Chains A and B, each alone.
Chain A
Amino acid sequence: MERISDPCIRIGFLVNPIAGMGGRVALKGTDGQFAEAVRRGATPVSTNRATTALRPIRDLPLFFLTCSGEMGENALRESGIKDYRIICQCPSRSSAEDTRRACHDFMNEGVSLILFCGGDGTARDVFSVVEDHIPILGIPSGVKMYSAVFGVNPVACAEIVTHLNEAVLRDSEVVDVDEEAYRRGMLATRIFGFARVPVLPLKTQVGKQIFDEPDEELAKKAIALFFSEILRDDTLYILGAGTTTAEIASNLGIEKTLLGIDVIKGKVLLARDADERTLLSFLSHGEKAKIVVSPLGAQGFIFGRGTQTVSPVVLNQVGVENVIVVATPHKLAETRMLYVDTGDEALDRAFGDSVLVISGYRMGQRKRILHPTTSNQGGPKH
């Protein structure tokens, strides 16, 4: 199990000072919208959120590297932390470029973790620099937090940092939501990549450890092993994005694209990164097919309207009953419900109220499904 085990932990810390400002003035994010947010009367919130996360950890033997002013320094100072060094001077009107520049500097300094405060946009900026080379953890302060890199709340982030040596690193999706489309009420998610995120093993609960595999990698292997047992040579398998489906393929000796949709049959890779047309051409001979998907992002999308999920046409062709959802127990523990929004209401409804998610070797969990017609809002709720 991979962990962070540095005796003197150095943390890169940054705040996106404008994150979370859009929400109260009915903007779905502030990328390129800062002026509009201010015009509508938004005030910065992220420094406060960051301070809430920092206060409980101010007495820990940690050393912070950070940015000047609003981009980090202020929050550290307000929370009473003294062990920090400013390695990046930033202008008061910060931009995505400043975030990326800071992350480059953190990388060069060899920090063990980047703790950032922001939303999906910030996560994307951080990830675009560090990729999976340095673990990252988000203090949630955005309007949109579909990426699975955030603690549940600032205090939960403090908890993770406090117990960093017990935390395990998990591949977690950084999700890119098309903000333009989102502002128009349409959800189009795309996986941007998989960051390494520290998560604490599930809190000890009676019964829990008897089965639930606390090690993410072993849990994925268990799912993959089960899958290899139920694989049928006469069936086409459309594997969605993610590390769990990648493990399923890898266990069959197939290298799958992490972000794309691949097609296999009889343990042979037929198509990588397939688009809708390719999928439909495979299905045109009425072949038996199954779709294997993993819930994505913090909200547990199994089907969204993004470019990298299976389209409603393909889904209709294969049939909802031939969808196999897979996810590790840890992921499921954090994702109380799954979410389907294919853009086709009848199709969404065909999923019913719940779905069986394969979560281990010969094991599943029944999970509730939300779709736009069951939830009163257009989008998923936190």
Chain B
Amino acid sequence: MKTKILLDEGEMPRQWYNILPDLPTPLDPPLHPATRKPVTPDDLHAIFPMELIRQEMSPMRHIPIPEEVVEILRLWRPSPLYRAFRLEKALKTPARIYYKYEGVSPPGSHKPNTAVAQAYYNMKEGIERIATETGAGQWGSALAFATCHFDLDCTIYMVRSSYAQKPYRKIMMQVWGAECFPSPSTRTNAGKAILEKHPDTSGSLGIAISEAVEDAATHKNTNYSLGSVLNHVCLHQTVVGQEAKEQLAKEEVYPDVVVGCVGGGSNFAGISFPFAGDKLKGKHKDVDLVAVEPAACPSLTKGVYTYDYGDVAGLTPLLKMYTLGHDFIPPAIHAGGLRYHGASPLVSRLVHDGVMRAVAYHQNEVFEAAQLFARTDGIIIAPETAHALKGTIDEALKCRESGEEKVILFNNSGHGNFDLSAYDAYLQGKLEDYEYPADLIRESLAHLPKGP
């Protein structure tokens, strides 16, 4: 019985799996914020390279991964699949728990799986600089890492509070050659407008997105890049699930439950879409796909499935998704990467259709799970990832009750080595269990933009 199930470099997937053609009906298209008509490739071309726009809407089930991208992914891929024997033992569960560890990438999470691809396509189309936002710094450091391999400049708008509190993430970005500004900044109109009204604001992801989008839209040589939510990002992450499927096959098993945390939805999409495809095609109808989100920002469990903006300023296209409202500023939970008001339209659709389901947890129980895992299996995981772990543990405990020997797979999306102050707050009993007051809000969701 192996603890690590490894693939050779030669066994790395050469294609991304695109779930779009496997949906029973087409996905509702993004709408132009001004006209409320479906956006055209031309609308998007101001800030995205053409190839990514094509991937966003592609009808092809498999899309080849360019050799230049594979070469860089090879620095850490294929990532290991682990069997969490010690966790199983601690939980006294008959379930078999496996996890795919994405923390082995240089930036420490799943994010570079898409960052590398995005940087590559931008480079191919002659773009010289990419602008993006980052909350806790995971995405910013991943894009900084990726652009550095293709000689692109990289400008990162980092939520001001994280900029001050997570100096190490900022330094990583700088080491990889990116420039990093606290957001709101005076470099954009969106930033200036906010600073004028709220000079002391600590910023938010929604504001930072507005700044990065504006930067890209107003500079010809500059494109925008998003680290989650969009279809092409989910697409690039499917290397995770494809590898996992292969690795589990070496163990001669197929998962009963697949778990991932959801901020924008990309790492969950990455691990689950290859299995969701099997489910949609009727091959494995019973595989249970579980998205885990924070009770403080529970888009999938408590949001409304409707068209909404992706950012605070309302610059982005309207996306059909589960949303808490684009003006919702999530509270300061330590899983910064899960503080997003919406969720990937693909994941939203699959949850809406019942192909996947979602659960939500409070901060303290999530960190309790993370601490247990650190003590059983050693890795101090990212607070975002800890949500997936908590979901996994609860499934495993259900198996203890029922005696079922389910195979549970979760995406261990990143390490938490730069999140130790969050663990510190947990150890000191200083974490608040923020919770979105869904029942009260349900009565007042008038602030969402109307659909077409």
Partner-B contacts on A (CB < 8 A): 205-212, 229-230, 232, 324, 329, 332-333, 336, 356, 358, 360-367
Contacts and interface: CB of A to CB of B under 8 A. Distances in A.
A360 B295 contact: no
B441 A230 contact: yes
A336 B432 CA distance: 9
27 contacts: A205-B421, A205-B425, A206-B165, A206-B421, A206-B422, A206-B425, A207-B161, A207-B336, A207-B425, A209-B161, A210-B159, A210-B203, A210-B204, A211-B330, A212-B332, A324-B440, A329-B432, A332-B432, A336-B429, A356-B435, A360-B331, A362-B324, A362-B328, A363-B331, A365-B432, A365-B433, A366-B362
A209 B202 contact: yes
A-B complex: 6 closest residue pairs judged by Cβ atoms: A210-B332, A207-B332, A366-B433, A206-B421, A211-B332, A364-B437
B202 A210 contact: yes
B435 A212 contact: no
B12 interface: no
Given A210-B161, A210-B202, A365 B434 contact: yes
Contacts of A324: 440
B443 A232 contact: yes
Nearest to B447: A229
B444 A230 contact: yes
Interface string B19-51: 000000000000000000000000000000000
Interface in B387-432: 421-422, 425, 429-430, 432
Contacts of A360: 331
Contacts of A365: 432-435
B166 interface: yes
A210 B201 CA distance: 8
B235 interface: no
Contact residues on B (Cβ < 8 Å of other chain), bracket: 35 or more
Interface string B195-226: 00000001110000000000000000000000
B436 interface: yes
A333 to B, nearest CB: 7
Counting chain B CB atoms within 10 Å of each CB, which of A207, A209, A230 scores highest? A207
B440 A205 contact: no
B194 interface: no
Nearest to A290: B440
A329 B331 CA distance: 11
B232 interface: no
Interface string B135-168: 0000000000000000000000001011001100
A344 B73 CA distance: 64
Binding site secondary structure of chain B: loop
Contacts of B204: 210
Interface of B: 159, 161-162, 165-166, 202-204, 295-296, 324, 328-334, 336, 362, 421-422, 425, 429-430, 432-437, 440-441, 443-444
Nearest to B440: A230
Contacts, number: 77
A356 B437 contact: yes
A179 to B, nearest CB: 32
Given A209-B332, A363-B296, 18 more contacts: A207-B165, A208-B332, A209-B161, A209-B202, A210-B159, A210-B161, A210-B162, A211-B330, A211-B332, A230-B440, A329-B432, A358-B440, A360-B331, A362-B436, A363-B436, A366-B295, A366-B362, A366-B433
A230 B202 CA distance: 27
B205 to A, nearest CB: 10
B197 to A, nearest CB: 13
Given A212-B331, A232-B443, A363-B331, A207 B434 contact: no
A336 B436 CA distance: 19
A336 to B, nearest CB: 8
Contacts of A333: 432
B137 to A, nearest CB: 12
Contacts of B166: 206
A356 B439 CA distance: 11
Contacts of A205: 421, 425, 430
Nearest to A332: B432
B334 A206 contact: yes
Contacts of B436: 362-364
A373 B437 CA distance: 27
Contact of A207 (B295, B422, B433): B422
B437 to A, nearest CB: 4
Contacts of B334: 206-207
A362 B441 contact: yes
Contacts of A358: 437, 440
A149 B81 CA distance: 55
A206 B421 CA distance: 7
Given A206-B165, A210-B161, A230 B443 contact: yes
Contacts of B203: 210
A332 B432 CA distance: 9
A364 B425 contact: no
A362 B341 CA distance: 12
A211 B440 contact: no
A232 B441 CA distance: 12
Given A207-B165, A207-B332, A207-B336, A363 B437 contact: yes
A329 B435 CA distance: 13
A247 to B, nearest CB: 17
Given A365-B432, A366-B295, A366-B435, A207 B440 contact: no
Contacts of A209: 161, 202, 332
B324 to A, nearest CB: 8
A331 B240 CA distance: 44
A260 B204 CA distance: 39
Nearest to B328: A362
Contacts of A362: 324, 328, 436-437, 441
A362 B297 CA distance: 11
B325 to A, nearest CB: 8
